[in-house]
Amino acid sequence: MPSSQNKKLLLNDQQSSRRRFIKLASIGFALSSASSFGINLAPTNRKLGIALLGLGNYSLRLLAPALQSTQHCELRGIVTGTPAKVESWQQQYSIADKNVYSYDNMHELANNPDIDVVYVVVPTALHLKYAEMAANAGKHVWCEKPMAMTAAQCQRMIDVCKKNKVQLSIGYRTQHEPNTRQMHQFAVRQKYGRVTSIFARAGYGGNGLPADNWRMKKHMGGGAMYDMGVYPLNGSRFLSNMNPIAITAQHEKSHPQIFKEVDETTNFTLEFPNGVTADCAASVVKSYNKIKVECEEGWYQLDPMSEYSGVAGNTSDGVVLTAIKGMQQTLQMDNDALAILKQGPLLVPGEEGMRDIHVVEAAFKSASLGTRITL
Ligand code: NDP
């Protein structure tokens, strides 16, 4: 238990945290995560040119809009396999003809100084292929989550980026979200004592997608564990500041006629050192989104944990972390751009994405063998 002096310090810390977050919420999000969390925000005039590769839902609805508010990078190019999408993207975002590519000619990016970064936003099974092409063209790579299908693929992605001396960053927007970062600091500083257990869920309700959608295909990286599992998994790791040592997983099926190839819900228990466990679940048929971290001297939670907006938290001693204004993706891309412009720090490098994919692979193995897998 903390001494009365320590309690006073904790209280001061909590109050200043709270004040900082009220201030953050009121000034908006533009400078928030970076300046408040030790990220290098010294001014730089140069803006990096971003090319979005794969113009599906996430690029269209989240990333391109978020790039309209970034300070250190801007949308300058597109790489797409669908010519019919080009005109509207060019018109809406004033993208020059010379910055429009297909997957077949994207190696020509090597000769285009307008583009500094290729952001890979295609189905998971294709992340490695296009990350390799971008890195070999000399461009920095931002790659969406989940990083790849296997840890071996992740390692190849890391290696090719190293070989080409370009940065690799994984699109874990939540690690850039200020309330999530604050709770990570609770774990780092053991503000509520040592973590004792975790409860984490991420899922969206529904009845599946058409059978030809990549999210329904196993070989494309569809299913609950790849799509949503990385949120409770990464959240448990990030908010406990620990890495799991074992996993036990089971798939749960309520729509066997629809989910013939991929998992619709996966329940998994992560075991951390000192007997700490995380009770986790990911689903594409159940709607839930929350993480709660129990500690020896209290608890902290995010509810919701990984929605695009509204991520908010509170703690056992009454600290309230209100949702930021603006988009997490804006913070993410500005932080990642600064890491390139200033050569660090990089919040979510390839190694971080790979750690999760190692666990995801073990989850599938555990569910199929019905056994606990040591990591
Ligand atoms: P969509 O299905 O909406 O779009 C994927 C796009 O990839 C397509 O529109 C297409 O773009 C391109 N593509 C290239 N090859 C193929 C192929 N063989 N089959 C299907 N599409 C192909 O997916 P999302 O945008 O929702 O997801 C893309 C990635 O982003 C995934 O890795 C996903 O996990 C991640 N994601 C991350 C989120 C986050 O919060 N961080 C949220 C949502 C998704 P084009 O026609 O331009 O070639």
Distance from Cα 45 to the centre of ligand 1, integer Å: 32
Question: Quick check: 84 pLDDT over 90?
Answer: yes
Question: Quick check: 192 pLDDT over 60?
Answer: yes
Banded pLDDT at 364 (limits 50, 70, 90)? very high
Question: Rounded to an integer, what distance in angstroms lies between the CA atom of residue 296 and that of residue 142?
Answer: 38
Q: Which residues pair with 283 in a beta bridge?
A: 203, 265
- DSSP state string for 181-246: HHHHHHHHHTBTBSEEEEEEEEE--SS---TTSGGG-GGGT-SHHHHTTHHHHHHHHHHHT---SE
Which pLDDT score is estimated for 45?
Answer: 80
- DSSP state string for 53-95: E--SHHIIIIIHHHTTS-SSEEEEEEE-S-GGGHHHHHHHHT-
Mean pLDDT of 100-123: 98
Mean pLDDT of 106-124: 98
**What percent of the chain lies above the pLDDT cut of 90?**
87
Banded pLDDT at 3 (limits 50, 70, 90)? very low
- DSSP state string for 274-318: GG-EEEEEEESSS-EEEEEEEETTEEEEESSSS-SS---EEETT-
**256 or 272, which is more confident?**
272
Distance from Cα 57 to the centre of ligand 1, integer Å: 7
54, 121 Cβ separation under 8 angstroms: yes
Question: Quick check: 37 pLDDT over 60?
Answer: no
Distance from Cα 63 to the centre of ligand 1, integer Å: 12
Mean pLDDT of 127-149: 98
DSSP 171: -
In ligand 1, which atom is closest to the CA atom of 215? 2
Question: Rounded to an integer, what distance in angstroms lies between the CA atom of residue 223 and that of residue 219?
Answer: 10
Ligand 1 site, CB within 6 A: 54-59, 80-82, 85, 121-124, 126, 144-145, 171, 173, 214, 227
Mean pLDDT of 159-181: 98
Mean pLDDT of 46-63: 98
Question: Rounded to an integer, what distance in angstroms lies between the CA atom of residue 88 and that of residue 105?
Answer: 20
Domains in the chain (CATH in brackets) are 48-173 (3.40.50.720), 178-323+350-374 (3.30.360.10)
Distance from Cα 128 to the centre of ligand 1, integer Å: 14
Which pLDDT score is estimated for 359?
Answer: 98
Which pLDDT score is estimated for 254?
Answer: 93
Of 89, 144, 306, which is best to mutate to test ligand 1, by the most ligand atoms within 8 angstroms of its C-beta? 144
Q: What is the pTM of this model?
A: 0.90
